[in-house]
A and B are shown apart, each in its own frame.
Chain A
Amino acid sequence: MIVTEIDEERLRRGLRGLLTVEPPVIDDSRSRGTPWVGGLAIAVATVVVLAGVLTTTLLLRNRATVGVTPPSRPTLIATPEVTPEPTPIPSAMPTPFGTPAPAPWLPAVGPPCTVSELEVRVGKGFSNLSNGIMYLIFTDKGSARCALRGTPIVQFLDARGRVLASPRIVDVSSGYVPTLPNGGVGLLPLSSEGAYPGTGPEGGMRGQASLPLQYYADGCNNSIAAIRIRVAGGTLTVPLAVSGGGGGCQTTVVFINPFQPAEYEP
């Protein structure tokens, strides 16, 4: 191979020719804004779309799971008495009103509910020996629309009204049943027509929301007599009893899910 010396004059001539090539017209729109703004907008839009798709998928799964589960007798011995305690606990309230709800089943409507507007009872539940799920049903008795959102704080009381150290209470975003994101659910007044499934914008019982409680109970440490829920700026207490199964003696664990639309229940 013959290695030639590079002709620097040729190099100069060739490269100077390159520097006389007609450039393209400058697009001044690029200089008007920072380039990352467009990229950021695209990124935000993508995240919003993905969040919407994900939320919708979760909601559909939630509906399907709850809908196909055959109703059975509640595992709870509940007295349908509601003893609202008008002790507002503003700091303990979940308070997410104003937080954008990621496509709840029922659209969040109106202001947050107040405790005086709400009635709570124990709804249907399902159990399998030492574990199960129960639903606390919240009914809007007010005259205007209000909304419940998020996961409330709960306490379990014994027969003498003392707060039990057990069961262990865990807030969950998913668990026994697919749950809504912590965006919550809007409640419609009961006076609205069509209080049966499917009449709401996305189904569910109009004017009602449910609070799913998944639990792992035991047969030897069953001292739960009531549940106290801090919600809507106040406290609601519902008597209940977890029917112990035959799963052995172990620490009871209750998983508190966010509010979700209540299924129709006669």
Chain B
Amino acid sequence: MTTMGLIETPPPGSDDVEEAVARYGSEMYGLTLAITANVHDAEDAYQTAWSDALRSWTKIRDVSKRRAWLASIAARSAMHTRRRRAISNRLHVPFSDATALMTVMHWDAELGTAISQLSPRQRAVITLHFGHGFTLDEVGTILNCRGGTVRSHLGRALANLRVVIGDDRD
């Protein structure tokens, strides 16, 4: 992965920006993919997330929290992009399946299809929990909501996944 440009114009005190991009870039992009459920919006959200992160790079002093911090920024950016998409979809034709989450998750398209049918918040919760491996409390911190809310989202997400995957297997 290239990080062209970041080396040329690093923000103040950001000698580890490139390392962070290399280390967490894929995770952030995967999270935006899961939440937006299509490649176009995910790329947009990913770019915006890094833009936001670089602007406030020096605010995060505890490097050990950087991963969660970046995940939080990516999730927020993806949610915002998703909301804009919901509005613009009233006026424009939605994207084709070629860029949809189910196509990206070619290794388990059935699961990709099922995840696509969840709400963005539910997708964020299961991705952060099962994908990133964050605890539910950590997910709550990242998504800026309470642990109980996270558990509620997770429960509904799993229930919906059961129904969708179960329906497919009838």
Contact = CB atoms under 8 A, between A and B. Distances in A.
A20 to B, nearest CB: 5
Contacts of A19: 26-27, 30-31, 127, 131-132
Contact of B131 (A15, A24, A28): A15
Contact of B107 (A1, A8, A14, A26): A14
Contact of B111 (A3, A10, A21, A24): A10
Interface in A26-53: 26-32, 35
A10 to B, nearest CB: 7
Interface of A: 1-6, 8, 10-32, 35
Contacts of B43: 24
B166 A2 contact: yes
Given A17-B108, A19-B26, A22-B26, A30 B130 contact: no
A32 B54 CA distance: 9
Given A1-B167, A2-B166, A19-B27, A24 B46 contact: yes
B9 interface: yes
B72 to A, nearest CB: 15
A68 to B, nearest CB: 43
Given A15-B131, A28-B9, A21 B26 contact: yes
A26 B21 contact: yes
B60 interface: no
A26 B47 contact: yes
B2 interface: yes
B6 interface: yes
A174 B112 CA distance: 63
Interface in B113-141: 115, 126-127, 130-132
B8 A28 contact: yes
B156 to A, nearest CB: 12
Contact of A29 (B5, B11, B170): B5
B111 A23 contact: no
A75 B5 CA distance: 75
B48 A21 contact: no
A24 B105 contact: no
B169 A26 contact: no
Given A3-B163, A31-B55, A18 B34 contact: yes
B56 to A, nearest CB: 11
B87 interface: no
Nearest to B51: A30
B8 A6 contact: no
Contacts of B130: 8, 11-12, 15-16
A20 B46 CA distance: 14
A15 to B, nearest CB: 3
B131 A16 contact: yes
Contacts of B132: 19
A26 B158 CA distance: 33
A23 B46 contact: yes
B6 A28 contact: yes
B150 interface: no
B54 A31 contact: yes
B166 A4 contact: yes
B66 to A, nearest CB: 16
A24 B163 CA distance: 34
B30 A20 contact: yes
Nearest to A20: B26
Contact of B9 (A11, A16, A24, A32): A32
Given A2-B169, A6-B165, A28 B5 contact: yes
The 6 closest A-B pairs by CB, nearest first: A28-B5, A15-B131, A23-B29, A19-B30, A30-B51, A31-B54
A14 B28 CA distance: 16
Contact of B162 (A5, A13, A15): A5
A3 B30 CA distance: 28
B75 interface: no
Contacts of A30: 47-48, 50-51
B60 to A, nearest CB: 15
